[in-house]
Chain A
Amino acid sequence: MRKLSKRFDICLSGNKAPENCDIRYRQFYWLMVFDEAGELRGACKLGEQLSVVIKQGFDVPNGFVELVEQSMRSKSSVQELQRNYIKSGGSLASYETLCAKVQEVHGVGQMAVSTFLEESRSKVEDPVLTGARSLWMEADACSHQVINHAAFSRVRNRLVEFIGEHPKHPFTRRLLEPLVDSLKYSFDVEAKCRAYVDAWADRSDSGIHDELIAALSKRSSAWCEIALKELGELEGHSYQRLRLLAQIGDADGVLKALEATKSFGVMRPFHEEWRREAKAKATGNK
């Protein structure tokens, strides 16, 4: 570390991540390496990658140095690839290279890359496509990061809005997949999808959304069928059972299961939402 400090400035950041470096799993130890221009070259879960280099014959201190060197040997920084994206007018190749870099740095800063794409819309050839890519990136970050009620809610709203606004864009249909995925912690998935479908149908009377409406309805029905099947195989009270009951919109089942369940951390806002929506549905059904 002392030797390394002659070449690199080193910071123990505690539990504060650097700006634009959103982190997927905050309970792990992370290493982030920045070049002279302050751009992110590499990032990894330290323990996991140290194990890899130790298996290659390094001891812990030299293994750590090797990880830093590997990052510095990386061809480009995240920011450089972002600049290339704009320079190329938002080409597919530059987008794929950027995505590969996000994977290489284990998703560190993925939300920031999504924001970058959203803000780049006016600087590229196909602003709608770049907006869709931004959403895709954000949805992917949500589904891999620690479960976050606000993040799911935000991406879901953005997806619904985007799809409603750009029904004919070739990329739009692909966004149905992250939309359904963003509903995995929602109460009554089918009802929510019906509401989206109604909202899209209201936007135009030319049937422009018909294909998307049919595709989403099909997906949400399939999703609920799977949930019902899984439910049949589960016994007793469990978080998984509660979540499936919520997905299929079984109001009484959810309210009963919530009484027997202790909510913790990240699930608390979801449970509150399910309780509220289940009560509303149960009252409405009477």
Chain B
Amino acid sequence: MKSRLQKIYNWIDERVQLHDLINFMGKKYVPVHRHSIWYYFGGVTLFLFIIQVFTGILLLFYYKGSADLAFESIQFIMSKVSFGWLIRSIHTWSANLFILSAFIHMFSVYFEKAYRKPRELTWVTGVLMLFLGLGFGFSGYLLPWNELAFFATKVGSDILGDIPFIGEELKIFMRGGEDVTGATLSRMFGFHVALFPALFSILLIIHLLLVQRQGISQPIEFDSNSENEINKMPFFPNFFLRDILFWLLVLNLLAMLAVFFPSELGRKADPFAPAPAGIKPEWYFLFMFQTLKYFPANIWFVEGEMLGIILFAAAGILWLMVPFWDTKSSRGQKNRLINYIGLFAVIFIIVLTILGWIS
């Protein structure tokens, strides 16, 4: 058995120099310190993404992406297909946990300033993936074509229309017309299962190759220490096995959530019915949604919502560009301002999410 495996390995190695690749993948160390726990969240996010790909493909076997059939096909998945309810519930829950885990991963990287030189591109690809993740959430939300999704998409795409200059065109592009119709569903379906996964995969490959190439970042205080003083463990197998254990815990959590709180379907979307009460976006959009509510209708000569969107867009761009304007961290100096901004962002997001939740 072992010699046969060895033979197969040798056969491949002779042709593609597997040895070099294994060397490249094998030489990775994980620094051990009191904040090491945060290193797991990148892996967990990856794991949840893999689950999304798997369950997403499974759902595609029965889902029908048209306004006439979408709702009924989900009904079919939930009631007729064996374990269909489980697959869909896992997909929904995993989506939520994915966003949560990506947020945790991002903030831990932010507060550790792991984005500092030379890892600027890893940060940029990561933030872009989070934005894409939000796009996945927004486009996937419409696919069951139920009442809540229909009106949430109406509201969400309408807000986009407030972006100056390009807003109206962007709205029409996203909706596939003036209104949210079957054409919107087809577009969102295309974004959700083809365009976004393709873009995401490219970013993910770059992100992972960069991590592999540059090694795992260590806290800024360690930079002055010499190599031997730093405590670290090999990625494979030591950290990898811990990773697997963490993934299993997440899978258990996911299974419990999916079984005890399965996804609902609600009522089929009816474009001519009045909107039901309590239309809210998914929780990860809630803080933005809630903030926009506090803006008055008009500020000076500008529409309040327009100003809000401009501010959010600016904040997003600044956030994406952190490694380029935080030059202090790259020089190995402490930068308190970054911590204050990060803390403000975390508190802002949490408080407004709660306010949005209870309102």
User: Are A and B genuine complex partners?
Assistant: no
Contact surface of B with A, Cβ cutoff 8 Å: none
Contact surface of A with B, Cβ cutoff 8 Å: none
